[in-house]
């Protein structure tokens, strides 16, 4: 790393010109021991007095701008903006708050019912984590899962979710729903952890949940990070008796070749295809193809994000029986989900059947 000082700067826009010239100059090859080496640079620019009144602040802000240049794919320059520091500071604050939250278990698991349309019943629930943030209230995973992944905090967090979800569903099984399944999302980091199989086995033993009622959801991209190792791990998990779903299917790297070899049971059609399935011919074709692919490979198929009766009708007509989405219910806190399940059991009796499935 180098600091370049431009003490004689006429106008502040000249700093950008100099940065551009430096990048150009570095593009030329460097002759080295009979070979030619190429380097690029990422440059961050901070200007006195606007971006800092002392050397330390200027260097810190130039550094933030340089990181931004690296994020933008390197080989470019970025001028410092206050927002850069704000976002870096925010990320750090989020990380330390998340660390405390994981230690203190300030999370909740919500459950989204999954319906088997033909049998007209709830066959399972998907566990979806929420963070009970002291100031900001209940936070959705999109606000923190990314940071949890990068920092590795997803490993203890995910394990906690697994335990909480299995224990809860075991309890519901005892309340008249003996076959209820639970889907738990497993991140790439968890899947790659050396002890993932032992941990799943331990949780099943501790909670008393029979393995055939646990479904682990992994995404295509996490499976593809290290396909050979993933295949081996999934085989071991399946040997425990649990089932495996590919989540968000269709938006990652779907190597059909690996799909054939991955020991999975279910494809979950990503909600981006379901959203416009009744209005967009391409999405309709993709959803139809995924359903057909699943059937050919003898896999179960679940549609995510079903919000309307029209979507339900389309998917059902193509042979997709299992669905989850706001049409039936969003993710619910445990007590509300318990009430939903109870109502559903009630509705199973021929008299009150239509009350929980608006699409029926
Ligand atoms: P996902 O596993 O694909 O979960 C489905 C997401 O779609 C959930 O968002 C759910 O609330 C939302 N959803 C369900 N039905 C509908 C619908 O009809 N319309 C729309 N627009 N959305 C619907 P959520 O709860 O915000 O979770 C987002 C993602 O965060 C999950 O996507 C999953 O990838 C991740 N996630 C959640 N909990 C965990 C966890 O415990 N561990 C890990 N590793 N990831 C998790
Ligand atoms: Mg999922
Ligand atoms: Mg999904």
Distance 275 CA to ligand 1 centre (A): 15
Is the peptide bond between 272 and the residue preceding it cis, with omega within 30 degrees of 0? no
- Residues 184-202, mean pLDDT to the nearest whole number: 95
Q: How confident is the model at residue 349 (pLDDT cuts 50, 70, 90)?
A: low
User: What's the half-sphere exposure (Cβ side, CA atoms, 13 Å) at 76?
Assistant: 11
Q: How confident is the model at residue 353 (pLDDT cuts 50, 70, 90)?
A: very low
Residue 111 has pLDDT above 90, yes or no: yes
SS3 116: strand
Q: What's the whole-number average pLDDT of the chain?
A: 91
Is the pTM of the predicted complex or chain greater than 0.75?
Answer: yes
Distance 143 CA to ligand 1 centre (A): 12
CA dist., res. 246 & res. 304, Å (int): 12
Which ligand neighbours the alpha carbon of 324 most closely?
1
Angle at which helix 196-207 crosses helix 154-173, to 10 degrees, equals 30
Residue 335 has pLDDT above 90, yes or no: yes
* Largest distance between two CA atoms of the chain: 86
Which residue's CA is the closest to the ligand 1 atom numbered 2? 185
Which ligand neighbours the alpha carbon of 248 most closely?
3
Each residue of 23-64: pLDDT tens digit? 999 988 889 888 888 888 999 999 999 899 999 999 999 998
The reported pLDDT for the residue numbered 227 is 85
Q: How confident is the model at residue 354 (pLDDT cuts 50, 70, 90)?
A: very low
Are 267 and 293 within 8 A, CB to CB? yes
Distance 197 CA to ligand 3 centre (A): 23
Which residue's CA is the closest to the ligand 1 atom numbered 17? 305
- List all residues whose CB is within 6 A of at least one atom of ligand 1: 112, 128-129, 140-142, 145, 154, 158, 161, 185, 187, 217, 247-248, 271, 304-307, 324-326, 330-331
Each residue of 158-177: pLDDT tens digit? 999 999 999 999 999 999 99
Each residue of 266-325: pLDDT tens digit? 999 999 999 999 999 999 999 999 999 999 999 999 999 999 999 999 999 999 999 999
Number of Cβ within 10 Å of residue 316's Cβ equals 16
């Amino acid at each position: 790393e180098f600091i370049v000082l431009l003490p004689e700067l006429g106008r502040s826009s000249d700093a950008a010109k100099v940065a551009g010239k430096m990048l150009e100059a570095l593009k030329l090859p460097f002759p080295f021991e009979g070979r030619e080496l190429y380097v690029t640079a990422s440059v961050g620019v901070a200007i006195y007095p606007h971006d800092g009144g002392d050397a330390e602040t200027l260097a810190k802000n130039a550094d933030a701008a340089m990181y931004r240049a690296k994020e933008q794919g390197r080989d470019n320059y970025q001028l410092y903006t206050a927002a850069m520091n704000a976002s870096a500071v925010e990320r750090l604050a989020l990380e330390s708050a998340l660390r405390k939250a994981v230690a203190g278990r300030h999370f909740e698991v919500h459950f989204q019912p999954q319906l088997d349309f033909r049998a007209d019943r709830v066959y399972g629930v998907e566990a979806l984590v929420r963070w009970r943030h002291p100031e900001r209230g209940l936070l959705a995973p999109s606000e923190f899962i990314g940071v949890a992944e990068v920092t590795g905090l997803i490993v203890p967090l995910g394990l906690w979710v697994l335990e909480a979800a299995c224990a809860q569903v075991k309890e519901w099984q005892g309340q008249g729903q003996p076959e209820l399944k639970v889907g738990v999302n497993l991140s790439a980091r968890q899947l790659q952890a050396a002890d993932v199989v032992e941990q799943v086995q331990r949780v099943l033993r501790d909670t008393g949940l029979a393995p055939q009622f646990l479904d682990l959801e992994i995404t295509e991209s996490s499976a593809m990070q290290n396909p050979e190792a993933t295949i081996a791990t999934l085989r071991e998990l399946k040997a425990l008796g649990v089932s495996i779903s590919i989540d968000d299917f269709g938006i990652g790297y779907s190597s059909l070749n690996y799909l054939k070899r991955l020991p999975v049971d279910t494809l979950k059609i990503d909600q981006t295809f379901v959203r416009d399935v009744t209005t967009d011919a391409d999405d309709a074709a993709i959803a139809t193809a995924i359903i057909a692919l699943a059937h050919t490979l003898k896999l179960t198929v679940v549609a995510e994000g079903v919000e309307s009766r029209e979507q339900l009708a389309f998917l059902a007509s193509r042979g997709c029986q299992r669905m989850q989405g706001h049409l039936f219910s969003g993710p619910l806190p445990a007590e509300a989900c318990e009430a939903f399940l109870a109502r559903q059991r009630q509705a199973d009796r021929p008299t009150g059947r239509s009350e929980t499935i608006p699409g029926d």
